[in-house]
Structure formats: structure tokens, C-alpha cells
Amino acid sequence: MGLMINTELISILKEGMAGSSMRHTMLANNIANVNTPGYKRSDIDFKSTLAQALDKSSLRLKTTHPVHFKHLGLSTGPVQAQDLQTSLRNDGNNVDVDMELATMAENNLYFNSLAQLLSSQLSLLRQSIMEGRR
């Protein structure tokens, strides 16, 4: 039985989960500072973290020409940004709790998807070890 186990994919999934975890912490920090005067929300571009991990790997998308897919704008690393947009509040704080909670829910979906993929890869690895003992 030919099992497809990719240890590089396992590493990428772990990196993606770490990026998602960092983002969750940052979003929770934004919510915790909702009443701090002058506080500006921060965020991490989770997708660029995963794109960076994929860019380092042999799992990259193969193209026939170097300019193909350049329009996707994949970043070279995790981007932490402070949102300096003007606040409608008098105290200068620009945290919108509803937006933070929605972003946190989206981030949770990413994390759970990556965790499920990692779990299936580890199950394949465990299965191949068990079959190797026979």
C-alpha cells in the first residue's frame, strides 16, 4: 500500500499553526485594550506566514514562466501591522470589538483546518510505522 507522507508538509502545517496562534494572541490583545485611550489595533497577516513557509518548500507551485502568478502578491514573511486609521472615538482608540471577534473566528477556522490536515498527515505516518512492524 503506497502511503504519501510528506515531512516537509508537516513542518509547513506546524509553521502555519504557529502563525495563526500568534495572530490569535494579537487579536486578543486588541480586545483587551478596547478601552485604552490612544491604542491602535495590530494584526498579523497570517496568509503571508503560510505563503512564506510554502515558498521555502519544494511544494511550491510549478510554473512554465517566472512571471506567472506574480499578481498574487505573496509576501516574504509574516507581516505585523499597526492599523493607524482614524478612530471615530474621541479617545483615539480604533479597536472595533465586533470586527476583532469576526477576525478571530476566521483565524480559528484557519487554525482548525491546518490542525485537521496535520492530524491526517500524522495518522498516515503512524499507519506506515504500524504496517512496517508486520
The one-digit pLDDT tens for each residue of the chain (134 residues) are 445 667 788 888 888 899 899 999 999 999 999 999 999 999 988 677 667 667 766 555 555 555 544 444 444 455 667 777 777 788 989 999 999 999 999 999 999 999 999 999 999 888 888 887 76
pLDDT for the residue numbered 64? 59
Cα 39 from Cα 102, distance rounded (Å): 19
pLDDT for the residue numbered 73? 43
| Residue 44 CB partners (closer than 8 Å, separation 6+) | 19, 22, 23, 26, 78, 79, 80, 81
Q: Which uninterrupted H or E stretch holds 102?
A: helix 97-132
pLDDT for the residue numbered 44? 86
Inter-residue contact 23 to 114 (CB < 8 Å): no
Cα 97 from Cα 92, distance rounded (Å): 15
Three-class SS state of 24: helix
Nearest CA among 28, 71, 13 for reference residue 63 = 71
Q: Nearest 5°: CA angle at 24, between 85 and 126?
A: 150
